[in-house]
Amino acid sequence: MRTAAPVPATADLMDTDSTAVSVHAPLRHYGGRTFLHGAVRTVLCHEDNALVRSLAAEPGHGRVLVVDGGGSPRAALVGGEVARNAAANGWSGIVVNGAVRDVAELRLVDLCVLALTTSPRRAERAGRGEVDVPVAFGGAVIVPGTEIVGDEDGLVLRPGGGDR
């Protein structure tokens, strides 16, 4: 049985892969894991997490859900329930350009969860937003299907590397 080669740390990727792009955002770790790797799926939404909840309930196949909430600290786009669903459905991680909540619960979930901040307020669930569109934050444009690697040093995109 052949196993996949281990994924290099983000610092090593930046040193050895000239196509690698670093995401410069002050993201903090909230989940039970500190490493993520996979092809990106995106959600663009503002203080509404209905689409995030829906995707977390689908099979993740080791992918990473990148949620661009415009950096809003006003409402949490991911909480304990969403993270547990994502972990149970095989997602590698969730990156939130915005807020999360249920921090004590998130620490217990076997999932890498990165976000800018926390908010006790839950997001609306009206279904406003877009799925699988390019999103831009942290000085990078994140395109669905792009390979992303995250660890305690940061996030790195490998353009053209998704679904390897």
In a domain, 145, yes or no: no
**Count of domains in the chain?**
1
Please report the pLDDT score of residue 5 as a whole number: 60
pTM above 0.85, yes or no: yes
Residue at 7 is within a domain: no
Q: Is residue 79 part of a domain?
A: yes
Q: Residue range 19-45: average pLDDT? A: 97
82 in a labelled binding site: yes
- Confidence class of residue 4 from pLDDT cuts 50, 70 and 90? low
CATH of the domain at 103: 3.50.30.40
In 3-state terms, what secondary structure has residue 39? strand
pLDDT surpassing 60 at residue 50: yes
Report pLDDT for 160: 64
Q: Do the annotations mark residue 80 as ligand-binding?
A: yes
Residue 95 within a domain: yes
Mean pLDDT of the chain: 94
> Is 81 marked as a binding-site residue?
yes
CA distances from 52 to 47, 58, 79, 113, 150 (A): 11, 10, 11, 13, 20
Residue 146 lies in a domain: no
Residues 110-146 have pLDDT tens digits of 999 999 999 999 998 988 999 999 999 999 999 999 9
Is 53 annotated among the ligand-binding residues? no
CB-based burial, 52-66: b 16+ in 10 Å, e otherwise: bbebbeeebeebbbb
Residue 68 lies in a domain: yes
87, part of any domain = yes
| Residue 157 is assigned to a structural domain of this protein | no
Residue 164 clears pLDDT 70, i.e. is over it: no
Residue 109 belongs to domain spanning: 20-134
